[in-house]
Structure 1
């Protein structure tokens, strides 16, 4: 069956702005599990229907651990360092529980006041550059990096290093392991400090779990902090802040709505997460441990399958008028943060930061607009995430 199906080059053509390629919709309708070839690695299946995507993400017959050592389908030549993302339960579950205790919804909510302080300090710097400035450089980048660095207890003077490493870890051009080694070396120094002088920050808690309770190996500790928390706690947010504001400013009525009804901001964040993909292509294939059928398609044991979260998030079987922006959507079970065992570790933190960011910007800049229209926007290239590298705004 595999040989008779069309194999499409993937990622598909890059859609402008924050849109997605219309081919996702056509495949979801006509060929919901299709064959694709990424720039590197073996051919794979691609699931685009919501129900199929959720099945792949929760069904234990699809394994992330089985992908290790395989020629995984991928967008860059070097195999991505995966850390906790490359594990299956129960190993994955054990590590998630340790971090989950520190990143509960209650704990994240308690961090909100400090996040508001950081957001407004960054916006003060933006104002100082005004009345026109790059919102990415002066707000979208420093805000989440400062939040996650304070959470981990990283010295202020070293925050800029984390910005460099974050971009390096998502680059499709730079050798990723060189970035990982630098990051892990730095975190290892912080770990040594916590052993000499214990702290109450998140890194101190994880070091205590490593040393006192033997719940973490040294490599697991470095992976959780460097990849699991740094990427989910900063890169997701620093990319989506300008994505969301670009979308809102291109549709001024929605920006005005949030100004007039700030209580809609949490729902607006969920709707924008549903509609705007962070990644231009599916990542992290799962390998079938036995034959699994999807309609007329059988994913054979040992074959990789990718899931399209953007495709699933626009499935008309789940979302009424899925292409429309609706901040009053009654039900929004999107999978922007994944689903099941590998649901994003920092999802609660990212939600809180995005809510704080939108509320701070819409409150302080009621007349915000794009500076020079799309000419003031420069999009990231050569990265695993998609968003504005530069977003010039006026107020």
Structure 2
């Protein structure tokens, strides 16, 4: 350690006091957590596409509950729709910055992005992306998305009559779209598919999840560094050309990481699970093929509400002691919002546990709410409309290849819930 003799005495004493306090009361390091305690896992568990009954039971008892304590941190769970909206919109009472819990071993490249950033940094970084995701700017992608969907359906047909829809459709389409949008080479797809799944899987505790996140970010930060000298045609190159002098590689890499994972893993989950649901809802599947834009939008919005693949929002950390709907929340406590719990709240949804187009007018939280609402929500809707309407038109008689649900590979304890396999028969 370098000498602090150059510091003014009052500042030196303050630094020493802070260091002593940290030594006496070390902050918890969630990356050392080997396994999530069993009693805390039910917000991430499902039976096929449905949350386990315990989630609804807890919401009926109290939409806010003290879930437990991990590494000395109180964990509150919010499951009510109105209560969730209030927490997600409250940037005064809560912080999204979790760097203080990631330990000394996790460097700057293992954290960041919009989801774990507070204003003013969040505002500055989001301002970079927002202009690229307006409806006007996104319309330029219509032709590219249609081409990618058509190519994927051609490849499915050539591989039939039975194919794994997760790999051929659910994974393939959003991955190609996001690679072209960002200007990234597609040859990294296998590596990133595995890392994308691993970073949302908490079955092995915090170390594996944060390790996967660090690896993906390092790759993307290196991509930014490479494009500094030769900007590509995609979003990475555009950000470098227009604003690159104002942002370093780590900041831009964090933004790109958020766009990549938000535009790939969640869309892949929606396409795979959405098809699984539609094959059990033949009228909705037919509506995608023969209905007008309004009917298609109803199907897409109800799928988003019903499936909600992002099960919990980014954790919020209490800035100060406060009351949360009758619960005393201490400074530093963690508040977790169950997005799929809120989306099935009977106080806000007429038929919460059913896929029912009468629910489609509900203000669902599949994309979050407030300051950290998904910046790519409209792009996700575009992909879902194009891919699902294309699938129903090309394969009107699509059917499950097996009725054995154990063959479908539903994930366990994943923040982004999905299927790993979905064998389908393309034609009778």
Q: TM-score, normalised by structure 2?
A: 0.81
Task: Give the Cα–Cα distance (whole angstroms) in 2 for the partners of residues 180 and 330 of structure 1.
Answer: 34
2:196 maps to what in 1? 166
Where does residue 234 of structure 1 map in the other structure? Answer: 264
* 2:376 is the alignment partner of 1:346: yes
Match of 2:239 among 206, 222, 225: 206
Cα distance change on mapping 1:64 and 1:166 into 2, 3 Å: same
For 1:371, the equivalent position in structure 2 comes to 401
Within a 5 Å distance, the mapping from 1:377-392 to structure 2 comes to 377-381=408-412, 383-392=414-423
- Mark the CA change 1:155 to 1:313 in structure 2 (over 3 Å): closer, same or farther: same
Bigger mean CA deviation after superposition, 236-245 or 172-181: 172-181
2:71 and 2:265 map into 1 onto residues whose CA distance is 24
**Count of equivalent residues:** 378
**Aligned partner of residue 328 in structure 2, secondary structure:** strand
Q: CA deviation at 1:335?
A: 0.8
SS at match of 2:421: strand
User: Contact 1:84/1:220 (CA < 8 Å) preserved in 2?
Assistant: no
Q: 1:303 to 1:198 in 2, by over 3 A?
A: closer
Per-residue CA deviations over 1:40-95 (Å, capped at 9, x if unaligned) read 773311111111111111112332345431389xxxxxxx8453211112211111
**Would you say the 8 A contact 1:145–1:162 is kept in 2?**
no
Structure 2 residue aligned with 1:125: 155
SS at 2:227 equivalent? helix
Any stretches of 5+ residues in structure 2 without a counterpart? 1-36, 104-109
- Residue 275 (structure 1) aligned with residue 302 (structure 2): no
SS in 1 for 2:397: coil
Selected match of 1:19 from 50, 57, 61: 50
Give the greater-gyration-radius structure (CA). Answer: 2
The 3-state SS of whatever aligns with 2:264 is: helix
CA contact (8 A) 1:134 1:390 kept: yes
CA distances 1:141-189 after superposition (whole Å, capped 9, x unpaired): 1110110000111123334443233233333347345444543443344
How far off its partner does 1:129 sit? 1.3
Query: In the aligned structure 1, how far is the partner of 2:149 from the partner of 2:69?
Result: 38
What's 2:164 paired with? 134
Secondary structure at the counterpart of residue 77 of structure 2: strand
1 CA distance for matches of 2:399 and 2:78? 38
Residue 249 of structure 1 aligns with which residue?
279
Distance 1:187 1:285 in 2: 24
* CA displacement, residues 175-232 of structure 1 (integer Å, 9 cap, x when unaligned): 34544454344334433443323344200122224433x1x23211111112x11110
In structure 1, the residue matched to 2:334 is: 304
Does the C-alpha gap of structure 1 residues 307 and 382 become closer, same or farther in structure 2, counting only changes over 3 Å?
closer
CA distance in 2, matches of 1:138, 1:386: 18
Looking at structure 2, the residues matched to 283 and 332 of structure 1 have their Cα atoms a distance apart, in angstroms, of: 19
* Compared CA separation, residues 44 and 184, structure 1 to 2 (3 A): closer
Deviation at 1:8, TM superposition (A): 8.9
Contact 1:126/1:133 (<8 A) preserved: yes
CA distance in 1, matches of 2:225, 2:126: 23
Report SS of the residue matched to 1:44: strand
Contact 1:315 1:322 in 2 (8 A): yes
Partner of 1:30: 61
1:8 to 1:317, Cα distance in 2 relative to 1, 3 A: farther
Alpha-carbon spacing, 1:337–1:41, altered in 2? closer, same or farther (3 Å): farther
Separation of aligned partners in 2, 1:355 and 1:94? 31
Tell whether the 8 Å contact from 1:210 to 1:221 is kept in structure 2 after alignment: no
Query: Is the partner of 2:47 in helix, strand or coil?
Result: coil
For the 8 Å contact 2:88–2:368, the answer to whether it is kept is: yes
Higher helix share: 2
Q: 1:262 to 1:245 in 2, by over 3 A?
A: farther
Contact 1:210 1:218 in 2 (8 A): no
Q: Give the Cα–Cα distance (whole angstroms) in 1 for the partners of residues 386 and 170 of structure 2.
A: 12
* Equivalent residue for 1:156, pick from 165, 182, 186: 186
CA distance in 2, matches of 1:182, 1:294: 37
Cα gap change, 1:193/1:70 in structure 2, threshold over 3 Å: closer, same or farther?
A: closer
Q: Structure 1 stretches of 5 or more lacking a match?
A: 1-6, 73-79
Q: 1:328 to 1:141 in 2, by over 3 A?
A: same
Does residue 251 of structure 2 align to residue 223 of structure 1? no
